[in-house]
Structure 1
Amino acid sequence: MAAGNLFRRAKNKPLDRDDAMRKAEKSLRQGRLDEALALYKQVVEQFPEDWTAANALGDLYVRSNSIPEAAEQYTRIADHFLKDGFLPKAVALYKKILRIRPDDETSRLRLGEIAADQGLLVDAKAHLTAVRDQRFQRGDQRGAMEVVIKLGSIDPTDMEARLAGTRALAEMGERDKAVERMTELADEFTETGQGTEALAALREAARFDPESTNVRGALARAVLASGDVAAAGEYLTREVAGDDPALLAMFLELQLKAGHADVAAQLAASSDERPRVLEVGRRAGAADAAAGFVCFEAVADLLLGAEDWDGAAAALQEFGDVAPHFAPALLRLVEVCVDGGLDERLYEAQARLAEAYLHEGRAFEASVISEDLAVREPNVGSHIDRLRRALVMMGESAPDRVIAKRLSEAMAAVGSDQPSSTIETHDAPVVPAAPASPP
């Protein structure tokens, strides 16, 4: 019976499946492959979910060298088994397709996904890598990148594949997702002690989205953790620092080193930021008194603006503990104490300033302050000692006689009855001390 007649009969009446299958089998045994194909095709067309018939039809297509048609039938059956959860049957059919059509990407992708779901990572990577390479070879860059992304998602321990997948996301324009994944990778590298890799991942994330303050902040923290303070300045802005104490402090220190004293004043303007400004001043002042003083002076100026003389003096006095020989800070402290009428703080401030002058070798200024203090507090021995050291530094061979004479004259001028005999005198010459080197 001709194949055309079979098709015409199928249109005239419903197909008897069992009869058609028997006839197809008979045709095969008689070597009439075309008739068998036509009969199986009719069965599958009228009974599309007859998977046995569909599989047999696929086999007949293979025998007739109609490979695309065979692959179509096998794929349809395999997809059905995959959807219903019959994974072994689905895998067998996808592999069957690859035997007749080794470059079938759909089958390889399905096998890769099934293997990944089953934890068979070696098999999954092999199938997906084959598809990736096929697509690269034919110039399908986007398609290849899609597979690279899949490869980067199946094995959490394969950091190289995950990095490659994240880069592929960025190349395909999904920058937000790429930044998120790269940041996650950086966190994982950090947790496992791979600081260099974490830093590299964050730098890539910053290239994906240069405007992201979160990424720049994370990058700045990572750079600081690595000890590369200079590199942190490339990413650290006021906005990036946000409310992070460590970043704010580093931002301020970097600005101070760059000579931007106004930044300290801007940060100090917020009462919430003043403790951080002072903390930076303490750290900076230990190595660079001038830089540290910028912070303390900024806070003091704001307190003075609010007429808080005592608070301003306290801040400046604290810096005196950080940099005890930094004369500009002590001069400002004396000025604030005088203007604010803070007599109790004033004498100590003057004494500190005199010591700073002695440390710098500025004996004359030290002697003027020390003499003033000695007149005001003649019973405080440290004032006399400081004046003595200043006079010796100036080359005076009999400093105590000079002190006694000056104090007597000064006391007489102010009407004091303090006896000058309280000042010990030494007739022996005193060898002048060499001035101390400036810090």
Structure 2
Amino acid sequence: MAVDKNKIIAEATKHVQKGAYDKAIKSYEKILAEDAKDVRILLKVGELHQKKGDDKAAAAAFQKVAETYAEQGFFLKSVAVYKQIVKLDPDDVRANERLAALYQQLGLMSDAMAQLQTVAAAHEKAGDLGRLTEVLRRMVELDPDNIASSIKLGEMQARAGQAAAALECFRRAAAYLKRNSRADEYLKVAERIAVLTPDDHALTRELAHIYLGKGDTKRALAKLQLSFKVDAKDVETLQLLAQAFRDLGQTSKTLSVYKELARVHEERGRAGDARAAWRKVQELAPDDPDAAAALGAGAGAARRVAPAHPAATPLAFGPTF
């Protein structure tokens, strides 16, 4: 036989007036036994638990209300109840996740991101790296320009041995940072990419160029050493090496690099570039006989002279390299 809702509500109201909250809750539970999704009664039960100071029980009752509203398509009402739940129980990760999903469904992306950040922080605190990775992936999908999330997701994937996925995140972040002229942050991300792609020699030279621009010549030389080992005749690498040694005041090494650069240009038939390199030599050492011979004799004679001078032998840099 169906319960008489009105009679039970009147009974529960009398209990509430007397402060007998437990008795009132038991009365309402008779109705819920027949209709577990009666949101009006669930809200009353939740409010009574709040009055008792039992926030966990109140949150559980409100959870059913929020779920019911969502099932019925009342998303804004569901959001309002979930917000009440997370106030009662901030550590309820499931409620925070559901609230984020509802915000996303309603197109409230900034609110969804804020909620996902709360969820991510909870998983990180709990040490649940798997679920943290999933939440970070959702955040990146929701907002690809959220660089902090991309980088953090990349770090997580790199630690998990997922190099390809990590690179995708780092490269996305690096492109955004470069596009927005955030040089220092770009450098940090580019270094992470370099660790995962040691064969990316174009990136290695780029990093060397950046470090030279920042006046960090030692780091620049460390990068240039890697590039030089791969291709000792790469013109850009030699130019950067010359700049690095010149910045360090190592004139003899600077001269050796410029002479090697001149020889490489001569081998490739670039007479004008070869003469420019020899002029660099002459600027540093006006009495250098190799430069005098090359510049005095002209491009053709320079090619004949080049093999005889010391720069024609492979460069070998000492410990300072």
Query: How high is the TM-score relative to the length of structure 1?
Result: 0.44
Alignment partner for residue 198 of structure 1, among 186, 194, 203?
186
SS in 2 for 1:56: helix
Whether the aligned pair in 2 keeps the contact of 1:116 and 1:124 (CA below 8 Å) is yes
- Paired residue for 1:90? 78
Whether the aligned pair in 2 keeps the contact of 1:24 and 1:36 (CA below 8 Å) is no
Alignment partner for residue 9 of structure 2, among 5, 8, 25?
25
- Paired residue for 2:60? 72
Whether the aligned pair in 2 keeps the contact of 1:37 and 1:57 (CA below 8 Å) is yes
1:16 maps onto 2:2 in alignment: yes
- The alpha-carbon deviation at position 185 of structure 1 amounts to 1.5
- The alpha-carbon deviation at position 251 of structure 1 amounts to 6.7
Whether the aligned pair in 1 keeps the contact of 2:153 and 2:169 (CA below 8 Å) is no
Residues 140-219 of structure 1: pairs in structure 2 closer than 5 A: 140=127, 142=129, 155-207=143-195, 209-210=196-197, 213=199, 216=200, 219=203
- Once the two structures are superposed, residues 255-306 of structure 1 have per-residue CA deviations (whole angstroms, 9 ceiling, x without a partner) of 996xxxxxxxxxxxxxxxxxxxxxxxxxx9986444445667xxxxxxxxxx
Identity percentage over the alignment?
Answer: 18
- Once the two structures are superposed, residues 77-96 of structure 1 have per-residue CA deviations (whole angstroms, 9 ceiling, x without a partner) of 32343455533111111122
Q: CA RMSD in A?
A: 4.4
Letter in 2 for 1:183: R
- The alpha-carbon deviation at position 103 of structure 1 amounts to 3.2
Residues 286-365 of structure 1: pairs in structure 2 closer than 5 A: 288-292=261-265, 322=299, 324-327=301-304
SS in 2 for 1:73: helix
- The alpha-carbon deviation at position 197 of structure 1 amounts to 3.6
- The alpha-carbon deviation at position 58 of structure 1 amounts to 3.1
- The alpha-carbon deviation at position 183 of structure 1 amounts to 0.5
- Paired residue for 2:275? none
Q: Distance in 1 between matches of 2:229 and 2:31?
A: 73
Whether the aligned pair in 2 keeps the contact of 1:24 and 1:37 (CA below 8 Å) is no
- Paired residue for 2:207? 223
Distance verdict in 2 for CA 1:67–1:227, change over 3 Å: closer
- The alpha-carbon deviation at position 153 of structure 1 amounts to 5.7
Whether the aligned pair in 2 keeps the contact of 1:58 and 1:71 (CA below 8 Å) is yes
Whether the aligned pair in 2 keeps the contact of 1:27 and 1:33 (CA below 8 Å) is no
Q: Distance in 1 between matches of 2:201 and 2:265?
A: 24
- Paired residue for 2:216? none
Whether the aligned pair in 1 keeps the contact of 2:170 and 2:193 (CA below 8 Å) is yes
- Once the two structures are superposed, residues 19-74 of structure 1 have per-residue CA deviations (whole angstroms, 9 ceiling, x without a partner) of 1x223213213316555434543443443443334333433444455543332232
- Paired residue for 1:336? none
SS in 2 for 1:324: helix
Letter in 1 for 2:2: D
- The alpha-carbon deviation at position 178 of structure 1 amounts to 1.9
Q: Distance in 2 between matches of 1:322 and 1:197?
A: 45
- Once the two structures are superposed, residues 146-175 of structure 1 have per-residue CA deviations (whole angstroms, 9 ceiling, x without a partner) of 656656665555534443343244345544
- Once the two structures are superposed, residues 196-244 of structure 1 have per-residue CA deviations (whole angstroms, 9 ceiling, x without a partner) of 543432221233x346x5xx25624633764868525536887xxxxxx
- Once the two structures are superposed, residues 368-413 of structure 1 have per-residue CA deviations (whole angstroms, 9 ceiling, x without a partner) of xxxxxxxxxxxxxxxxxxxxxxxxxxxxxxxxxxxxxxxxxxxxxx
Whether the aligned pair in 2 keeps the contact of 1:24 and 1:35 (CA below 8 Å) is no
- Paired residue for 1:426? none
Unaligned runs of 5+ in 1: 1-14, 239-249, 258-283, 297-319, 332-439
- Paired residue for 1:56? 44
Letter in 2 for 1:177: A
Distance verdict in 2 for CA 1:98–1:288, change over 3 Å: closer
Letter in 2 for 1:28: A
- Paired residue for 1:391? none
Unaligned runs of 5+ in 2: 213-219, 239-256, 270-296, 309-321
Residues 414-433 of structure 1: pairs in structure 2 closer than 5 A: none
Q: Distance in 2 between matches of 1:79 and 1:88?
A: 12
Distance verdict in 2 for CA 1:148–1:193, change over 3 Å: same
